[in-house]
Structure 1
Amino acid sequence: MLENVFFKAVKTFVFELFKTELVPEAVYHNFGHTLRVVNASLEIGQAENLTENELEILLLAAWFHDSGFIIDFKNHEEKSKEIVKEYLGSLNFGDDKIKEVCAIIDATKMPQSPKSKLGQIICDADLFHLGSEDFNAKSNLLRAEMEQLCDRAFTEIEWAEKNTQFFNEHKFFTNYAFEKLNDQKALNLLKINKDLKKLKAKEEEQQLKIQNKSEVVKRKKRKEERPERGIETMFRVTLRNHIKLSDIADTKANILLSVSAIIMSVALSTLFPKLDKADNAYLIYPTLIFILTAVVTMVISILSTRPKVTSGKFTKEDISNKKVNLLFFGNFHKMQLNDFQNGMMEMMNDRDYLYKSLMKDLYFLGIVLNKKYRLLRIAYTVFMIGIVISVLAFIISFSMLELD
């Protein structure tokens, strides 16, 4: 039938239509696809024992069902009906037959829902490739066309999922198509599912690699954000020097305490027993000055070395708000271990918090040193002046005794 004069003219018309007016992006819905649908329609129609008149209507619909792509790819069925009406009208084709051809073209709309046997045949012919071994090639052409005409890119997984959904929703309507194509269709679906699993596994692997790479970058960034070696050295040296100064201050205080204690011992063991005699009254004032000097010196020395411990009570909010210096034991000795560990981890991961904590530690250590050395200076001054006055007092007392 396809070789008669009428259908040769139809073929030539459709060929010229696609050749001259179809956009290059239509790589699937072109003349090649139309020719395949025509041949499939003829094959199924003959297997379904259609009459000559039914075959003619079916083949006309097959030739023109995608011709509307030259005008509007989104609503091409309506445009296809307009083209076939104009073409068949120019040949004085009967209106009833034209309506039948248009009704069959309507059956190819997605999702397919044919209402006649001829509609079922053209639907099976239109999706004949679903049960063919060259399905992948046709699917790739359709994907390329959709991406270009619809301006939408599909990932490999998206396209595989779209094909899987389409396969699961599709069914062949005619007995011939079902018997001939359904087995290969099932194999094609299995291959799609297999490829989809591989693609998802590959994507998960890539995501894992990206995640691992991200973790490496984060660790590197955290490492870069930690204190630089020069700054660490500065804090280490400065804090060590301050601690040495504190040790020196404590040593000086101990010296004063020891000397004052010796003076007290000498005064109490040697001078005090003599004061109960009237003849030794001249020793009272020098001895009192001597002992008072030792006592005041000892008190001030003790004050310079007396430790001060803070409450050590801080909340998690204080740590989160960076209000507490966890580097000083007086600030954490009453904290729970977990709170202390969490606070230290937070501080180590925050360079600003760590720097400020070191600065606070250095600052308050400096304040303590200032207090120590100020009290020590007073103690040494008191001791020095007191010893001088005591000696002078003893000299004056002895001189007055000789004069008497």
Structure 2
Amino acid sequence: MHNNLLQLTEAHVVELLNRQLSPKNYYHNIQHTRRVVALVNTLAEQEGCSDKELLLLQLAAWFHDVGYVHADFNHEEQGAELATAFLTDKGLTPDEIQQVAQLILVTKKGIEPQNKLEYIIKDADCGHVGHEDFMDVSENLHTEISLKKGEDIPENDWLMGNVNFLKNHRFYTAHAKKMWQPQKEINQFRVQQKIDKLKVKKIKKAKENNKLGRGVETLFRVQLKNHIELSAIADTKANILLSVNAIIISVALTSLVPKLDNPSNAFLVIPTLVLTVSSVISIVLSVMSTRPKVSNVEVTRDMIKNKQTNILFFGNFYKMTLEEFEWGVDYLIENDDVLYNALTKDLYYLGLVLKRKYSLLRVTYTVFMIGIIISALTFMFSYYIIVSGHSL
């Protein structure tokens, strides 16, 4: 009778798990259930259980995780209900069915077993902690929980959780204490070793990133300094041109223009006009090369997140509120890729500004040079005509 009941139970549980269990159950599945049944058999034999006790343990082992077909939370209660419904008409007394349900419930985390059978089912359910394949089994559980949460649990956090679990866990049966405890301690040591290796790896990576970070910071620092110095040089050149041309215009207006109404100074008209016009054009171009440009676009948080703006430049953030600006700076600090992107944009747009400045300065110097040359040639030509006795 017992064998027949166990066969029916196994077939029922296997069909139920294969048909309804989520594919995300990498750990709580039929393989784990079979393992617990096998460990129950081993412990029951070592603890001298009777045939009736062994049957109850085996039935509880088969049903202890069946509740996962309905829910992850409180699956033990679900499993106890499914076991009770299945065993009701299978020849067991109500008290025996109640014992099976109680054995299932005791596998719940945090529940302390109170008797021999509960010790056995509790040790069998956590038997993997005392076996050599603990790391593989733990990884399956890691995968299952990560999939069900929808987010990956960091390896270090998972390993720390394993260490805490192994420290707080204890076996209850004499056989488990004697045969499985030593391997559990080895497993705990192996987990701690992995944690230590991760720490070393993290420190090494941090050092490498720090070296890389210093190199990147040096790159941006040197390039931004060069751009700022070149911009200052361009502004200085523009100021020199402004001053020189302003002096030329002042001299022309105060010294040359008043003399033009004298017929004897008619030869100075064209040279003065050319000089004055070229100086005015040079001043206009110099002013254009130094005239600042400020953006009118209002910066938003989405623009910062999507790397569409650079709030390190005052022309972009001057319309932002203090709160928004502080948030943007904090966001840059917390996200290296966004920070470096902002610095890259800053470098690029400084380059565009420099290109505009130096292009205008080149045109300005050309106009100034051509104006001076034409003015001088015109003056010499006009003076020659006057000296030679020809009229203009």
Rounded Cα–Cα distance in structure 2 between residues aligned with 1:14 and 1:117: 25
Rounded Cα–Cα distance in structure 2 between residues aligned with 1:153 and 1:57: 38
Give aligned-pair identity as a percent. 30
- 1:114: which partner in 2? 113
Matches within 5 A, 1:265-280: none
- 1:198: which partner in 2? 197
Q: CA deviation at 1:185?
A: 0.9
| Matched letter for residue 129 of structure 2 | L
- 1:20: which partner in 2? 19
For the 8 Å contact 2:17–2:69, the answer to whether it is kept is yes
Matches within 5 A, 1:151-300: 151-228=150-227, 230-234=230-234
Rounded Cα–Cα distance in structure 2 between residues aligned with 1:227 and 1:132: 64
Structure 1 pair 110–140 and aligned structure 2 pair: CA distance change class (3 A) = same
SS at match of 1:90: coil
Rounded Cα–Cα distance in structure 1 between residues aligned with 2:234 and 2:193: 62
Q: CA deviation at 1:64?
A: 0.4
For the 8 Å contact 1:112–1:123, the answer to whether it is kept is no
TM-score of the two chains, using structure 1 as the length reference = 0.57
For the 8 Å contact 2:5–2:90, the answer to whether it is kept is no
Structure 1 pair 115–150 and aligned structure 2 pair: CA distance change class (3 A) = farther
Deviation per CA, 1:14-72, whole angstroms, max 9, x where unpaired? 11111111111111111111111011011101100011111111111111000101110
Rounded Cα–Cα distance in structure 2 between residues aligned with 1:90 and 1:206: 63
Q: CA deviation at 1:224?
A: 2.9
| Matched letter for residue 45 of structure 1 | A
- 2:136: which partner in 1? 137
Unmatched segments (≥5 aa) in structure 2: 243-346, 348-392
Rounded Cα–Cα distance in structure 1 between residues aligned with 2:126 and 2:26: 16
Rounded Cα–Cα distance in structure 2 between residues aligned with 1:234 and 1:7: 92
Rounded Cα–Cα distance in structure 2 between residues aligned with 1:213 and 1:111: 47
- 2:46: which partner in 1? 47
| Matched letter for residue 179 of structure 1 | K
Rounded Cα–Cα distance in structure 2 between residues aligned with 1:45 and 1:194: 34
Q: CA deviation at 1:238?
A: 7.7
Rounded Cα–Cα distance in structure 2 between residues aligned with 1:219 and 1:81: 66
| Matched letter for residue 86 of structure 2 | Y
Query: Over alpha carbons, which structure has the higher Rg?
Result: 1
For the 8 Å contact 1:27–1:142, the answer to whether it is kept is yes
Rounded Cα–Cα distance in structure 2 between residues aligned with 1:128 and 1:152: 28
Q: CA deviation at 1:216?
A: 2.6
TM-score of the two chains, using structure 2 as the length reference = 0.58
Matches within 5 A, 1:93-112: 93-112=92-111
| Matched letter for residue 147 of structure 1 | S
| Matched letter for residue 68 of structure 2 | F
Rounded Cα–Cα distance in structure 1 between residues aligned with 2:82 and 2:149: 23
Q: CA deviation at 1:232?
A: 4.5
Q: CA deviation at 1:113?
A: 1.3
SS at match of 2:88: helix
- 1:76: which partner in 2? 75
| Matched letter for residue 231 of structure 1 | S
Rounded Cα–Cα distance in structure 1 between residues aligned with 2:5 and 2:106: 24
Greater mean alpha carbon deviation, residues 166-175 or residues 50-59: 50-59
For the 8 Å contact 1:107–1:115, the answer to whether it is kept is no
Greater mean alpha carbon deviation, residues 205-214 or residues 178-187: 205-214
| Matched letter for residue 77 of structure 1 | E
- 1:61: which partner in 2? 60
Structure 1 pair 81–223 and aligned structure 2 pair: CA distance change class (3 A) = same
Structure 1: 4+ residue segments shifted above 3 A:
232-242
Rounded Cα–Cα distance in structure 2 between residues aligned with 1:142 and 1:165: 16
Q: CA RMSD in A?
A: 2.6
| Matched letter for residue 120 of structure 1 | Y
Structure 1 pair 130–112 and aligned structure 2 pair: CA distance change class (3 A) = farther
- 1:255: which partner in 2? none
| Matched letter for residue 97 of structure 1 | E
Rounded Cα–Cα distance in structure 2 between residues aligned with 1:93 and 1:25: 34
Rounded Cα–Cα distance in structure 1 between residues aligned with 2:69 and 2:54: 25
What count of residue pairs does the alignment treat as equivalent? Answer: 245
